[in-house]
Amino acid sequence: MSSMKIGARLAVSFSVLLCLLFSVSTVSLLRFNDLASVTKSIVEVQVRRSFLAQEANQHAQSAANSLLNLLQTPMREQRIGLYAKMDAELASLDATMADATKTLLSDKDRSQVERLNVTRENYDEHFRETVEMIELEGLDHARNHYKENTQKALEALLKETSTLATSQQMRMNADLNRLKSAEASAQYTVILLSLCALIVGTVLAWLMTRSITVPIGTAVGVAESIALGDLNKAVPIGKGDEVGKLLRALEVMRNSIFTREEKILRLAYEDTLTGLPNRTRFLETFEQLPVNRAGAVAVLDIDRFALINNALGHDVGDLLLKEIGQRFSQMSGRHALVARLWGNEFAFLLEGVDKTGVSDFVESLLKLFQNPILLDGQRLDVSGTLGVAFYTQEATGGAMLLRKATLAMRNAKKRRASYAYADEINHEPTHEHLTLIGEMREALAKNEFIVHYQPKLNLALNKVTGVEALLRWMHPQKGLIPPFRFIPFAEQTGFIQEITPWLLEHVISQASDWYRTGLLVVPSINLSAYDLLNPDLVNYVRDLLTKYDLAPNHLCLEITESTLMEEPELALKHLNELSELGVKLSIDDYGSGQASLAYLKILPVNELKIDRAFITDIAETPKNAAIVRSTILLCHELGLSVVAEGAETAEEFTWLQENNSDMVQGYVVAKPMPLDIFLNWLPMNNF
Ligand code: C2E
Ligand code: CA
Ligand code: CA
């Protein structure tokens, strides 16, 4: 039954109940019909029979009484009236007897009626003889005859009628008894059937209720656990009925909620472009790691990504990120978790890895960029810069380590290094750094900072027309310290604001001397972001030019794209003021940052220095050659002169000559050198 649908189950149950009710009422009806027919026969037949029997008895008695009256009536005229009455009595007796003969039909009745008829005829005969004697032989004879014959016959007749009446009465009583017992049995049957119907109905109702409430209870339980978020419990397989359908619908609901939740989780924890974990997943994974373990967090930034995006389109940029993401996840495998933080930044979690392990990882990660990436049939030379932060006692949080690693990465970019460790830099000056700042201040006072000059060769004139001033620190113990070892630190600590003024005065005073001795070489000085945002810079430069009497166009200031990025509006304001002053301005390291050529239009610059990365092997690198060639053309269109930086070989030099670079600065011309060597070198290398 439980395999049937609920509707069918209800239909069956109600049909069974209806059948039971129908049979109870049919049986009751039949029984009561029986009772009615018995009652009818009692009422119609038996009562009539006993009534007829009694009536016959009464008529016989009345006739006998009339006869007795007759015997005592001596007057003939008086007797005539009695005859008539007597005849009527007898006629009534005959009619009653004829009726009884018709009504009483059983064998027993019939023999009784026959006997009654015989006694009646016998009485009739004696009665008539008595009557004849009254009229013919006188009352005495007649009385005697009556006593001897007629009275006996009358007694016999009366006996017979009363016997009949009694027997009919008895039969009626018997019928009544039968009726009573039939009634009792009908009652019993109806009660029994009703009881059966009640029991069957109750059992059916219980079974029905159970077969519906139990599975519905299960369904409710499942729905409640789904509501509480427990989606792992499978919904029991229901039967083919409506509740089964409900359970199947719940299972479908559970599955779709499960899939949707999975999707939401995926979206919350996964980077949709690369399919790698995102920053949130990275941080959560980090939080779940056991504390006090060795390891490091690394952040990698893809160099010049904005340039690639601008030049080749965002679709290619996306493909590139996907490809790089794939290479990273293949490489890091089980040892490290790789995530895409945002844009072109990726993060690596190097859990349980010691310093050697980390440096091996850094090496193999950077190796990934050695092979160019082929995308849409284009070869892309991509590089990345890494920052690494080790787990330390102070930096326990994932976000903190990511920040440290990102700072290290930025630092590496500034230094043009491919990677840097966070413990190499620190924004809060430590004791060691404070010592270093003190040392730098002392160095400045003791003139330990020296300037080397690197010539800029004008190709059209075949003459050195410019020179870049590059700072070095001649440390009494450590020897000559290159600028990348202390300039970034000086920039971070703000000490650069003491160095740059010193350098400006030093170089401007030199240039003034050269100018006066007829040496027309324009010196270039590198400005850092800090300098460019300094509100006193322009006035300071103006005062120096006046003090040393140097024409402003005999001084060039180099700025990098990243210098402009920090506070572009203020930087641009100062640049415009410097330009109005008449000082030459130059964009340094062009191509290493993320600025586009369009930017050049709004900058008041006179010169553009193409980064060494584009110049190295330019003759063999068609893509770089194309970029440099078109940059030169564009600069000339914009009225800028182009300096090719870092040319080391004759091939590079020739290529630059052939492609109309205005100037070349690089080892192929000369390395940076101290002032005296430079002043000697210049006339000897008579370009
Ligand atoms: P920069 O302004 O791009 O300077 C050019 C750098 O390229 C110099 O390194 C120079 O020695 C190097 N170089 C030039 N030709 C070649 C070549 O053919 N091959 C190779 N491999 N390198 C070449 P240096 O002197 O070590 O300076 C590094 C950076 O330090 C500079 O890059 C500049 O950003 C910064 N710097 C140097 N002096 C100063 C300064 O006085 N102030 C500021 N703010 N930064 C400075
Ligand atoms: Ca420079
Ligand atoms: Ca440069």
Q: What is the pLDDT of residues 391-446, one digit of tens each?
A: 877 666 888 888 889 888 988 887 778 899 987 655 554 555 557 778 888 899 99
> According to the model, what pLDDT value does residue 26 have?
84
> Which amino acid belongs to residue 275?
G
Angle in degrees, CA 556, 557, 561, rounded to 5: 135
First to last CA, the chain: 110
Ligand 1 pocket check for 646: Cβ under 6 Å? yes
Ligand 1 pocket check for 666: Cβ under 6 Å? yes
The one-character DSSP state at 371 is: S
Nearest CA, atom 35, ligand 1: 483
CA 589 / ligand 1 centre spacing (Å)? 10
Q: Mean pLDDT, to the nearest integer, of 303-324?
A: 84
> According to the model, what pLDDT value does residue 639 have?
93
Ligand 1 pocket check for 455: Cβ under 6 Å? no
Ligand 1 pocket check for 648: Cβ under 6 Å? yes
> According to the model, what pLDDT value does residue 104 have?
67
Q: Binning pLDDT at 50, 70 and 90, where does residue 70 land?
A: confident
CA 128 / ligand 2 centre spacing (Å)? 178
Nearest CA, atom 42, ligand 1: 526
Pick from 480, 485, 487 the residue to mutate for probing ligand 1's pocket: most ligand atoms within 8 Å of its CB: 487
Q: How high is the mean pLDDT of the chain?
A: 86
Higher pLDDT, 449 or 381: 449
Question: Atom of ligand 1 at shortest distance to CA of 648?
Answer: 18
CA 437 / ligand 3 centre spacing (Å)? 25
Higher pLDDT, 161 or 624: 624
Quote the tokens at residue 681: 């070198």
Q: Mean pLDDT, to the nearest integer, of 290-295?
A: 78
Higher pLDDT, 113 or 594: 113
Q: Mean pLDDT, to the nearest integer, of 66-87?
A: 83
Ligand 1 pocket check for 523: Cβ under 6 Å? no
Residue 138 has, within 13 A of its CA and on its CB side, a CA count of 2
Minimum mean pLDDT among 107-121, 261-275, 500-514, 518-532: which range?
A: 107-121
Q: Binning pLDDT at 50, 70 and 90, where does residue 76 land?
A: confident
Mind listing the pLDDT tens digit for each residue in 220-256? 887 888 888 787 777 777 777 777 888 888 888 888 8
CA distance 473 to 479: 8
Reply yes or no on whether the pLDDT at 7 is more than 90.
no
Quote the tokens at residue 119: 């006694």
Mind listing the pLDDT tens digit for each residue in 505-547? 999 999 999 999 999 999 999 999 889 988 899 999 999 999 9
Ligand nearest to the CA of 665: 1
Ligand nearest to the CA of 470: 1
What share of the chain has pLDDT > 70, as a percent?
Answer: 94
Q: Binning pLDDT at 50, 70 and 90, where does residue 682 land?
A: very high
Q: Binning pLDDT at 50, 70 and 90, where does residue 466 land?
A: very high
Ligand 1 pocket check for 532: Cβ under 6 Å? no
Ligand 1 pocket check for 487: Cβ under 6 Å? yes
CA distance 663 to 657: 9
Nearest CA, atom 4, ligand 1: 470
Ligand 1 pocket check for 501: Cβ under 6 Å? no
Pick from 526, 555, 648 the residue to mutate for probing ligand 1's pocket: most ligand atoms within 8 Å of its CB: 526
> Which amino acid belongs to residue 52?
L
CA distance 513 to 549: 10
**CB atoms near residue 211 (< 10 Å):** 20
